[in-house]
Structure 1
Amino acid sequence: MSDLALEVNALHFAYTPVNAPKGPPVLEDVTLNLPKGSRCILVGANGAGKSTLLQILAGKKLTRSGAKVLGQDVFFSTPQGVTYLGTEWAANPVVRSDLVVSHFLDSVGGYRHQERRDRLLDILDVDLNWHMHEVSDGERRRVQIVSGLMAPWEVLLLDEVTVDLDVLVRSRLLAFLTEETQTRNATILYATHIFDGLDSFPTHLCHIQLGTTLPPSPLSWPVVFPSSDPSATVEGVPAGVREKMEDPERPGSKLLELALAWLAQDKERRIEKEIAVGGTKKRGAAKKAEGETTDSEAFYKKYDYNN
């Protein structure tokens, strides 16, 4: 049996609209092979394809690229023990209705996992008497995490679900997830844009840029630089980042420094691609000749009664 929890090699994915040709690739040549027991942070800009990759690995989108989770095809033979938690849950009208938390958790089998459920209720500081329509987004998110994690899982796919949590609850949750990987050999792939307090969490990082993973994928964390050559770097770490990561006078997160460098590279590459295709960058302020105006601007100026 393979020691890999996730096996993704040269994965391609594009949306195919009804009665229309296949669209441009959302993911292209994605590679990510993660050993069991690992905790991998998925790093990339908005729109890089992180959520799409997580949904594919959860069996929610069809791809014929042969991606496997726990040795099985992610779509045609989705294995047991895979849990996906994404942001779309909070928009479900059911979980925003006048539903008592204790009733909701029982409806999804909480009584079958009482010990784990109760531990998570304590970690996430959830009141069983809350009514789902009365609580904050952060409190509703805590309920989602309890409901998703109370049954034992082998692979956990997290898409930005900690963004609503306060720092104390987030810290306690990350400690619980670390324990799960260490004691049960479970595996986590976690997409986030919040890197503070994460330096000691991951065992690996994966950089996804414009729909493609960049080598090495994954990158082992923490990064170990060659001590014999202070100027040497490691594959996947941009030039100049080693100095910042090893500078004892520089406060803050080493993981954040690397993520910032990666995201800066991603933006440069995106702009290069936009210019190559259309002759100009697409985002940011539009450059106009002196006196030039758009149709919409001319229309709204005509009826602007504030002037």
Structure 2
Amino acid sequence: MKSQSESYKAAGVDIVAGYQAVELMKEHIAKTMTSGVMSAIGGFGGLFELDMTGINKPVLVSGTDGVGTKLKMAFLMDKHDTVGIDCVAMCVNDVLCVGAKPLFFLDYIAVGKNYPERIAAMVSGIAEGCVQSGAALIGGETAEMPGFYPEDEYDMAGFTVGIVDKDKVLDNSTMGEGDVIIGIPSSGVHSNGFSLVRKVFDVENRDMKAPVAELGGKSLGETLLTPTKIYIKPMLAVFDEITVKGVSHITGGGFYENIPRSIPKGLGAKIDRSAVRVLPIFDLIAKEGNVPERDMFNTFNMGVGMTAIVAKEDVEKTIAILKANGEDAYVIGEIVASEEGVTIC
């Protein structure tokens, strides 16, 4: 391609670097291609043909999100190939909560300066997230914005579109007292609460690469950059066999804000605190930051990245399906008559 502009480059935007970044990312994008993709990267729109096999009343479900201030950890560690997984996870896990399977994903990356190799590393993470969730990466945008972002910083966001049969949209109208709440483990802090995390650990003035005994010898930086877990494939396997009454993605706001979103009025969630398998990173945050337990459960996932509510008679089979799909799920509570939302005791 002969397109170039020395004047634009002098102003801080290198369109040639943009072309180089696209070329470098193509190999990663290729890994995400599914049968519905009809267009190549570089066009003005991403085309996707819907496969309606087994779907009587198709409903499209969309979700959008970003990575938040977790990106500051990527800057500090100079590691950019995992935050893309977080970006995808935050979107696809949300649409999963209504029973949808993600079809495709588009990203938006804004940078202070376009470093093609770094852009390619970022997109490699996005592509990995798409592979994990079965979604195709059918487009995106990289915007070089000198004077708006520092040269070594960037922001990343994206959105997904999924599909579910109208008759299979998760319905909590049959939820009642005695239904059981199953917790599905998180991989770590995921992508929420990092403003508090950064304050607690004073990350800009700390050796983030030093091993930490409480974290099994892993560094704080490595632990905090652990990508958000993507729950699509294990949960879709559950949906195939179990009538799930409610699913919550435990993101910002922790247990107290997210679990009630899947519960109808008049009912609440009673969580057995002793059952929750809290990850070491959360114990360290609470200890170093002197953060009250109530605030911890109202900010972080505490080791539970997703919850599923099922009838008591379906608990054993649900857990068995999840374990067969690599998730060591376990019971963390039950549904009770309550107007208080979540009670942890």
Same fold, judged at TM 0.5 (above): no
State which structure, 1 or 2, has the greater radius of gyration over its C-alpha atoms: 1
Q: Which has the higher helix share?
A: 2
Give the structure-1-normalised TM-score.
0.26
